[in-house]
Amino acid sequence: MEERFFLYDDTVATKTRFVSFMGENERHDLALLYSDRHYGKTIVLDMQSNKFAIIGPDDLNEPGYLEHAFSMSEEIAEELRSFLFELI
């Protein structure tokens, strides 16, 4: 059997915050993972859709980023964007 070649294999400490809120149109259940990786950005996991994105303040300002990453409408993404601006 061939030896497996890892590009990297690191264990890092993370801080995870579970947060849920009700927007105007739907409920959002999120897990926010903070670590020293990803240049200070946060891994945002939408636990309802099982989709995630690595998000920083610059990404929140990027038109269409949340809509694409989480496959959601502009209206729903704006609710999420507004909420994430408070946390990221």
Q: How far apart, in whole angstroms, are the C-alpha atoms of residue 23 and residue 11?
A: 35
For 35-73, the pLDDT digits (tens) are 999 999 999 999 999 999 999 999 999 999 999 999 999
**Percent of the chain having pLDDT more than 90?**
93
Residue with tokens 């964007």: 81
| DSSP 8-class letter at 25 | S
pLDDT at 1: 75
pTM of the shown model: 0.90
Domain boundaries, the chain: 15-87
